[in-house]
Structure 1
Amino acid sequence: MTVRVTQNMMISNLLSNLQTNYRAMDKTQQQLATGKKINRPSDNPVTAVRSMYYQTTLNEIDQYKRNVSDGSNWLQATDEGLDQVTQVIQRVRELTVQASNSNDQNSKNAIVAEISQLKDQLGQVANTELAGKYIFAGTDNKQPPYDATVTAPNNPFTNTNGQSINYQVGKGSSVPINITGVSIFNYNGGMFKLLDNVMSDIQSGNNPTNQLNNIDAQIDNVLTNRSELGARMNRMDLSSSRLDGLEQSATNILANEEDVDIPEAYTRFSEQQNVYRSALSVGARIIQPSLVDFLR
């Protein structure tokens, strides 16, 4: 049985085809305008899900990179602080030896005065701040760990917080960024107390070289902590390089998923325009009414 094709059926098919072509043109035009293959999830649900995954991955990598940057700054500030501590204690050692070899009271008084100044300098290092946080105060880093007005019983480094601050630099990977002040300034009886003992020995006429072993122990402890600090800084550098590589890979994959091929899209848009114009031309002939049409 032959199906009779009416004028209305032809017009309906024409309009449907025109609408399909127009939607295709609109989609291509949006791709050209945005430079993206997908402008809404419905364009390609599978690709949209993959794009969301890689975009989330890039966001995570960006956060890890910020952690690496902030953590590296903290480690660098800590290393600079420990370098100053090393210089202070080494200078105290030199002065201790000088005092033991001098019988001149004026010279000894001058040495005591310099050690007192070095103690003040040590206190300033202990209260080093970075971005409003005291780097030697553990996790209780909103309050200064050193209080020069405290005199009892060990030393004025009052902070006893020995907790590490860990920064996540990757999935399942974190790096402790701080060296606690407790492990430096309260080590082996206290660094500030040691300087007080040296000054007391010099002033009382005792041999200050009795303190040399304690001084050397403090120096060795600082160097040990700086060595650990260096290892962490190396980990940060390696993490930074690894994250750069992951970011580049994820960016390339995301671009391949999302970015439109501009030359190909222009060619496709031109073809779609030609098809649309041809359909309009043919349609204009189809819908021209005639006397025969009205008589049907």
Structure 2
Amino acid sequence: MRVTQGMLASNSIRNLSNSYTQMGKYQDQLATGKKITKPSDDPVVAMKGMYYRSNLTEVEQYKRNLSESYLWMENSEAGIEQVNEALQRVRELTVQGSNGTLSESDKEAIAREVEQIKKDIMTVANTQIAGRYIFNGTNTSNPPVADGGNGALQANLNTNNYLVEVSRGVSLKANINPDNIFNQELFDTLQGIQETLEGIGTGDLNILLGTLDKRLDILSAERSELGARYNRLEMVEARIDQQEVIATRILSDNEDADVERVILDLTTQESIHRAALSVGARIIQPTLMDFLR
């Protein structure tokens, strides 16, 4: 086959164009830090990147769910602690009030303190986090305890589990069972102690004290159960953190460009391009037609 001057020039220009394309690819990799800038650059890398990024997004969502679980559990723990201290104080006051040497005014003063503690426990029961009542199961839009009139408190509790998905296929209960802390028996007992001290009730302080001790035991058991779930939540968090590190590393290995290698390839391509320009300059020589123009 006869090779003409036009063929040499055409091949030279095409090769120079390909060289520019290669240099442009390496420059894009340096500028973006990524192996590809569009799926057509490498469909396999692009497809894997979508899958790995989906996994990483899932892990990040689970971490946000973990934060919500921590928020509920830590506030529940704080509420239980506050109620426990309040009931311990009521117990002390009840023991003090059962002393037969107290005057009516002394009992009245104790009754007033019990009344304030009762109201404080109602405030704890109606704790809201981000506009949601955390001690009313899944009925987070309504308060669990309301004023029933004449100083009596009415508990209307939802005991359903508030579940939060903290890992694929794993949901943990974030709330406590409010019936073990704020049930009607507790408020009836506090009301009975208050009215007995005021002299308008017929309750026996010793029997009421026994009921109060029973509520304290149930409260302690609920607190222990919450602590066990909190420990499990920490283990799940450690596993999620590890999954996030692995997912991030895999995504980086798949998409991120090796900067050192890209710089080396770009330098090599620039040298090749200069050589091609030099050769092209020798191939495209002046012809007789250039002088006849």
Instruction: Give the TM-score of the pair, scaled to structure 1.
Output: 0.90
Structure 2 residue aligned with 1:136: 135
**Match for 2:235: what amino acid?**
L
Structure 2 residue aligned with 1:271: 268
User: Among 11, 21, 24, which residue is 1:23 paired with?
Assistant: 21
Following TM superposition, the consecutive aligned residue runs of length 4 or more in structure 1 with deviations greater than 4 angstroms are: 149-152, 292-295
User: Among 166, 174, 195, which residue is 1:200 paired with?
Assistant: 195
Structure 1 residue aligned with 2:254: 257
Q: Percent identity?
A: 42
CA displacement at 1:27 relative to structure 2: 0.6
**Aligned partners of 2:144 and 2:158 also within 8 Å:** no
Structure 1 residue aligned with 2:281: 284
Please give the secondary structure, in 1, of the residue aligned with 2:276.
helix
**Aligned partners of 1:128 and 1:135 also within 8 Å:** yes
Identify which range, 170-179 or 278-287, moves more after superposition.
278-287
Please give the secondary structure, in 2, of the residue aligned with 1:174.
strand
Structure 2 residue aligned with 1:114: 113
**Match for 1:68: what amino acid?**
L
Structure 1 residue aligned with 2:167: 170
**Mapping of 1:170-249 within 5 angstroms?**
170-186=167-183, 189-202=184-197, 203=199, 204=201, 206-249=203-246
User: Among 14, 26, 45, which residue is 1:47 paired with?
Assistant: 45
- How far does the alpha carbon of each residue in 1:11-64 deviate from its partner, in whole angstroms, 9 at most, with x for none? 222222112111111110000111111221122211222222211111111111
**Match for 1:173: what amino acid?**
V
**Aligned partners of 2:153 and 2:187 also within 8 Å:** yes
**Aligned partners of 1:31 and 1:37 also within 8 Å:** yes
Question: CA–CA distance in 2 between the matches of 1:218 and 1:285?
Answer: 99
User: Among 93, 96, 99, which residue is 1:98 paired with?
Assistant: 96
Structure 2 gap ranges (5+): none
Please give the secondary structure, in 2, of the residue aligned with 1:103.
coil
Question: CA–CA distance in 2 between the matches of 1:174 and 1:119?
Answer: 34
**Match for 2:287: what amino acid?**
S
Instruction: Give the TM-score of the pair, scaled to structure 2.
Output: 0.91
**Aligned partners of 1:100 and 1:207 also within 8 Å:** no
- How far does the alpha carbon of each residue in 1:127-162 deviate from its partner, in whole angstroms, 9 at most, with x for none? 11112211112222123222224469x84223x322
**Aligned partners of 1:54 and 1:254 also within 8 Å:** yes
Question: CA–CA distance in 2 between the matches of 1:229 and 1:80?
Answer: 11
User: Among 35, 38, 43, which residue is 2:36 paired with?
Assistant: 38
How many residue pairs get aligned? The number is: 289
Structure 2 residue aligned with 1:66: 64
CA displacement at 1:72 relative to structure 2: 0.3
**Aligned partners of 1:162 and 1:183 also within 8 Å:** no
- How far does the alpha carbon of each residue in 1:178-210 deviate from its partner, in whole angstroms, 9 at most, with x for none? 114334212xx5211111122233324653111
Please give the secondary structure, in 2, of the residue aligned with 1:175.
strand
Identify which range, 126-135 or 138-147, moves more after superposition.
138-147
- How far does the alpha carbon of each residue in 1:73-124 deviate from its partner, in whole angstroms, 9 at most, with x for none? 1110010001111111122222222222233222211221111111011111
Question: CA–CA distance in 1 between the matches of 2:37 and 2:210?
Answer: 71
The 1:291/1:206 distance shift into structure 2, 3 A limit, reads closer
- How far does the alpha carbon of each residue in 1:207-247 deviate from its partner, in whole angstroms, 9 at most, with x for none? 31111221112111111111111112112211221111111
CA displacement at 1:262 relative to structure 2: 1.4
**Aligned partners of 2:63 and 2:166 also within 8 Å:** yes
Structure 1 gap ranges (5+): none
**Match for 1:22: what amino acid?**
Y
Question: CA–CA distance in 2 between the matches of 1:43 and 1:190?
Answer: 70
Structure 2 residue aligned with 1:161: 158
**Aligned partners of 2:186 and 2:215 also within 8 Å:** yes
Question: CA–CA distance in 2 between the matches of 1:23 and 1:234?
Answer: 57
